[in-house]
Structure 1
Amino acid sequence: MYVSHVSLTNFRSYRQVDLELGPGTTVFAGPNGVGKTNIAEALGYLASLSSHRVSNDAPLIHFGADQALVRARIHRAQQAVGLELEITAGKANRARINRANPVRAREIMGIVRTVLFAPEDLALVKGDPSERRRYLDDVLVALQPHQAATRSDYDRVLKQRNALLKSARSAGRLSSSHEATLSVWDQHLAAAGSKLLRGRLDVLDALQGHLSDAYAGLTDGSKAAIATYTSSIAGGAELDDGTAQGADAAPTPEARPLSGLDEGELHELFLEALAAQRGRELDRGLTLVGPHRDDLVLGLGSAPAKGYASHGETWSLALSLRLAVYRALCQDDSRPGAKPILILDDVFAELDVSRRRKLAQVVADAEQVIVTAAVVDDVPEELHGRILTVGPGTVSA
């Protein structure tokens, strides 16, 4: 897969820029702060409808403009598709496929696949559980685009259920009306949550072997990379943001492996966990169990990665998590010309010479690699392709 043309209008620092690209490696070179990452971000946004840098769309729109446009020509397995994405802050984004009538942005999910490596990836290892939950959900949607609706449904139901819990807390008691409505929201939350949880577990199964192989390939292989899903509905994850389950907490179901449970069994386990935490949830006015409280625990050898891995090990593990996604997507669609586009955003400056070369060797078989770098010499020779110079709001050959 590759993108042959990209046009950005009022996107970040660019009023207007048009880029002709092609298979192989393209290096966007220029000083920090001139807009290299904005190009990488735009390509990644086409695939995921989200940014790796910000949590909302407003910063993506050029200051003073009302809307940003990202247009691209995508080539995948002998097929070419034209995409146009309208980004409007505070409103629903819209898209066009081959200049047809506008559709919901979600309709373009799955047309283009990218795997983006960036310095922000260190948060996958060192950051909060929310970073790792997002990682799993992004991979899930990349593999199964319809799961974007599941993700949205869960977030919507969670918001409604939390609002009800806060209302009951403010009232100082759980009225019969609150009780009946809460039971309904329990069912909706368990239905969406069990589907999302089953999807995450399937994703982890697809990634496990690739993660181990990728980490071994980037290091001396003395430590194995391990990823384990811990779920609040099974008593294995934190119940509160940043604080572990305390001694005064109500009992949750005994920690148990979830990988063998189907969606129906997860649904029942979810309802049991909600019932067990009902009192604490009313006291807090928050939903304390569900996929939004789960974590992906990463380990190197017998020790957890977070807090124990060296800086080099942390970088290698973060890169391995992205490489695992790349290999899983390649396996999912093995047709010639269907490999995801690889985007390496300012990564090589953070790596030592050995890791630079190993990463370059691993990604050399990609059909298209987009690299951003402040210093071209940081990019290994294996990836020295076409070089474009980036200046404030401009790109030139």
Structure 2
Amino acid sequence: MLLERLELVDFRAYAAVDVPFQAGPNVLVGRNAEGKTNVLEAIYYLATGSSHRTSSDTPLVRAGAEAAIIRAHARSDAGRQVRVEYELRRGGRSRSRVGGQAQPRVRDALGQIRAVLFAPEDVQLVRGDPSDRRRFLDELLTQRRPAYHAARQEYDRVLRQRNALLRSARGPSGPSATLDTWTDALVAAGSAVLAARIASVHALAGPAASAYADLVGAAAGPSARVQLAYQLSTGRSIVGDPDRGVPDPAELAKELRTGLDERHAAELERGVTLAGPHRDDLALSLAELPAKGFASHGEMWSLVLALRLASREVLFEVGDEPVVLLDDVFAELDEERRRRLAARCDRFGQVLVTAAVDGDVPLDGPRYAVRDRTIIPPPELVEGEGERQRAGGWGPDG
């Protein structure tokens, strides 16, 4: 996939920008707090339907505006032109359009734009809470299988209802007669989420190990061995294995139901569901030691970067090549790892990189100046964009 043009209206600090991009590396250079990250955030929103920095759309709308617009003009690997737009309303329901056509649901635009983002906050994938790692898997699955988004929403809906019944069960009336019905629904929805997540861990295992070894080099020796494992709330750990396929949802449903039965008394006492995908974790290990607590800062950065690079491979297996977004990553790497990452980036179809110092990025490609809430493309891209528009614009959307 090639992102050819990005338009932002009242998004974050940008009143209005319209920026062309080209294949290969594109480097946005500017001081901190000038808005470089906001550009990558907007592209990632197009791909996942959410921001990687906030759970609410309200902070994405520029102060004083009622709504923000993110619009992308892209070209699929097959040459089909795609136009995707999200309208984010302050305190209201967001809307999406594909090819100018309003979508019945915002999530119906998912899958049109594909992107993988590495941001400084990603170190939380190693040292943060299980919720950070669950979100990583869920965002990957939303792009790999857009229908997963609906499955996860259904699980969350059932979980909220079941938790409400468990809380009310602590009252004088005791457990509701419908609790068993909602337990059945939780098992059905939860086993679907589990099967998808575990399959994604199997798919990530090989590419993540390969990417990490490539980034750190042979000198790292045994410490370069990466292992991923999905840890269920029931206590079982499933090691990521690229030779294993999608697990049987029926077996997962049986295991989840057993876990709920074993915790039934505790759930009634605490008023909360104690087993299910919402309590699972993704275990990350280096040389058979937990990365959390044992990995150095440099190892954590390399491991998280390897996970993002592996995500690209996993997405590319089932669709268009994703756009790779790297937010100030080169500044955190030593010279050797910069060189190794740059070598990988040179093989990608399109990469957008942000940097405070141009010299930190050992990649050839156009430089965009980001300052005073504006984005200034190199002159040759501006001239080429003008010729394209005079020749007939973007043409029909696919």
Give the TM-score, by structure 1 length. 0.89
Partner of 1:230: 231
**How far apart in 1 are the matches of 2:172 and 2:307?**
46
Partner of 2:359: 377
**How far apart in 2 are the matches of 1:85 and 1:143?**
20
**How far apart in 2 are the matches of 1:181 and 1:150?**
22
**How far apart in 2 are the matches of 1:256 and 1:318?**
18
Whether 2:311 is the aligned partner of 1:329: answer: no
Match of 1:317, as an amino acid? Answer: L
Relative to structure 1, the CA distance from residue 47 to residue 29 in structure 2 (aligned partners, 3 Å threshold; closer, same or farther) is: same
**How far apart in 1 are the matches of 2:245 and 2:114?**
27
Whether 2:138 is the aligned partner of 1:137: answer: yes
SS at match of 1:3: strand
Relative to structure 1, the CA distance from residue 12 to residue 256 in structure 2 (aligned partners, 3 Å threshold; closer, same or farther) is: closer
Matches within 5 A, 1:65-144: 65-77=65-77, 78-144=79-145
Relative to structure 1, the CA distance from residue 346 to residue 260 in structure 2 (aligned partners, 3 Å threshold; closer, same or farther) is: closer
SS at match of 1:332: coil
Match of 1:282, as an amino acid? Answer: L
Whether 2:5 is the aligned partner of 1:8: answer: no
Whether 2:303 is the aligned partner of 1:306: answer: no
**How far apart in 1 are the matches of 2:91 and 2:304?**
32
Whether 2:48 is the aligned partner of 1:48: answer: yes
**How far apart in 1 are the matches of 2:129 and 2:90?**
27
**How far apart in 1 are the matches of 2:229 and 2:204?**
11
Whether 2:375 is the aligned partner of 1:395: answer: yes
Partner of 2:19: 19
Shift of 1:332: 2.1
Deviates more, 1:259-268 or 1:218-227: 259-268
**How far apart in 1 are the matches of 2:246 and 2:329?**
37
Partner of 1:292: 278
Partner of 2:389: none
Kept after mapping to 2: 8 A contact 1:13/1:392:
no
Shift of 1:173: 5.8
State the number of aligned residues: 369
SS at match of 1:116: strand
**How far apart in 2 are the matches of 1:232 and 1:47?**
29
Deviates more, 1:324-333 or 1:30-39: 324-333
Partner of 2:211: 214
**How far apart in 2 are the matches of 1:268 and 1:91?**
40
Kept after mapping to 1: 8 A contact 2:127/2:292:
yes
Kept after mapping to 1: 8 A contact 2:233/2:280:
yes
Name segments (4+ residues, structure 1) moved above 6 Å: 255-260
**How far apart in 1 are the matches of 2:137 and 2:154?**
17
Kept after mapping to 1: 8 A contact 2:95/2:102:
no
Whether 2:287 is the aligned partner of 1:342: answer: no
**How far apart in 1 are the matches of 2:262 and 2:246?**
23
Q: Which runs of 5+ in 2 are unaligned?
A: 378-398
Kept after mapping to 2: 8 A contact 1:93/1:104:
no
Partner of 2:385: none
Partner of 2:366: 386
Shift of 1:256: 11
Match of 2:100, as an amino acid? Answer: R
Deviates more, 1:102-111 or 1:305-314: 102-111
Match of 1:6, as an amino acid? Answer: L
**How far apart in 1 are the matches of 2:326 and 2:275?**
36
SS at match of 2:343: helix
Kept after mapping to 2: 8 A contact 1:96/1:103:
no
Kept after mapping to 1: 8 A contact 2:68/2:88:
yes
Matches within 5 A, 1:196-211: 196-211=193-208
**How far apart in 2 are the matches of 1:201 and 1:314?**
22
Q: Deviations over 1:280-323 (max 9, x none)?
A: 11111111110010001000012110000011111110100001
**How far apart in 1 are the matches of 2:262 and 2:87?**
45
